[in-house]
């Protein structure tokens, strides 16, 4: 075979090798995308809502007897801002996906722009839990990565986070919650109780026929609290919400 023929074969072989490598990389990228469908933050507009719609959704987190006099927050381009001043010390808001855990099975929703978690904090939680929502959101809107946000939260916890107040809890009883892309998008109406880090067995959490569940939302990673969830059995409008299997 002459030199030109050998050169053509070498070029074809090199091209075939590059094609195989490209296909492998493409397959790996598709596999990673399937594993983590939201690998980065979407454009901010996808996380924002029409103001009145967000106020109504935030209020739907708790029974009207509570939420009608609560402060209501909405997410703006520079963070959460007060849309309605409150009278009873409760604060209602709609959390976004970046309040998901940093690690574990639930982290895939961290950048999911569709997630909406209406929540209403009681006064102790508004003072000692809500600051974490403010801080995470501040770093998200500053364009920081998930790793940077986690590192920043560790510093914030050490330097500025108020101590957890006894009795801190919140309501998540909205029919409008969107917590997953799979199947039924809402979960169950429930209340959440915030505690220092502890063994879930102290509450009988996640045992057979126990109504108490240990939420993986914080669990010391890095926020130094646990969250115990208890089904409410009804939505905030009073209609029944049977506990799902």
Residue 232 confidence class, pLDDT cut points 50, 70, 90:
very high
Q: What are phi and psi of 92, to 5 degrees?
A: -110, 140
Do 8 and 113 have their domain in common?
no
Each residue's pLDDT tens digit, 37-96: 899 999 999 999 999 999 999 999 999 999 999 999 999 999 999 999 999 999 999 999
Give me the pLDDT at residue 103, please: 84
pLDDT band at 33 (very low <50, low <70, confident <90, very high): very low
- 108 and 224 both lie in a single domain: yes
Based on the domain organization, do 120 and 218 belong to the same domain? Answer: yes
Task: Give, to the nearest 10 degrees, the angle between helix 130-141 and helix 146-159.
Answer: 140
Q: Are residues 18 and 96 in the same domain?
A: no
Q: Is residue 96 domain-shared with residue 138, that is, in the same domain?
A: yes
Average pLDDT over all residues of the chain:
87
**54/23 same-domain check:** no
11 lies in the same domain as 115: no
Q: What is the mean pLDDT of residues 169-178?
A: 97
Quick one: 48 and 29 in the same domain? no
**Per-residue pLDDT at 139 exceeds 50:** yes
Alpha carbon distance 122, 69 (integer Å) = 12
Share of the chain above pLDDT 70, in %: 83
Domain that holds residue 190: 44-231
Q: Does 20 share its domain with 130? A: no
26 plus 48 within the same structural domain: no
List Cα–Cα distances, 40 to 108, 150, 151, 183, 222, in angstroms. Answer: 10, 15, 17, 23, 20
Count of domains in the chain?
Answer: 2
Residues 84 and 177 in one domain: yes
Q: What angle do CA 39, 98, 199 make, to 5 degrees?
A: 110
């Amino acid at each position: 075979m002459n030199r030109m023929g050998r050169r053509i074969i070498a070029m074809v072989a090199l091209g075939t090798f590059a094609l195989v490598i490209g296909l492998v990389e493409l397959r790996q990228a598709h596999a990673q995308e399937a594993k983590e469908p939201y690998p980065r933050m979407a454009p901010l507009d996808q996380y924002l809502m029409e103001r009145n719609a967000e106020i109504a959704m935030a209020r739907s987190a708790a029974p009207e007897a509570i939420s009608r006099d609560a402060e209501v927050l909405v997410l703006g381009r520079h963070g959460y801002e007060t849309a309605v001043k409150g009278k009873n010390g409760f604060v209602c808001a709609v959390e976004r996906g970046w309040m998901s855990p940093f690690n574990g099975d639930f982290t895939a929703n961290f950048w999911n722009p569709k997630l909406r978690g209406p929540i209403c904090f009681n006064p102790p939680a508004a003072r000692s839990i809500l600051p974490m929502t403010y801080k995470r959101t501040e770093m998200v809107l500053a364009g920081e990565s998930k790793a940077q946000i986690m590192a920043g939260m560790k510093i914030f916890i050490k330097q500025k986070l108020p101590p957890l107040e006894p009795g801190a809890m919140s309501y998540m009883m909205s029919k409008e919650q969107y917590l997953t892309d799979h199947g039924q998008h809402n979960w169950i109406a429930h209340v959440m109780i915030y505690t220092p880090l502890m063994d879930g067995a102290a509450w009988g959490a996640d045992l057979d026929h126990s109504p108490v569940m240990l939420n993986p939302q914080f669990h010391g990673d890095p926020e130094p609290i646990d969250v115990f969830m208890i089904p409410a059995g009804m939505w905030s409008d009073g209609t029944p919400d049977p506990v799902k299997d």
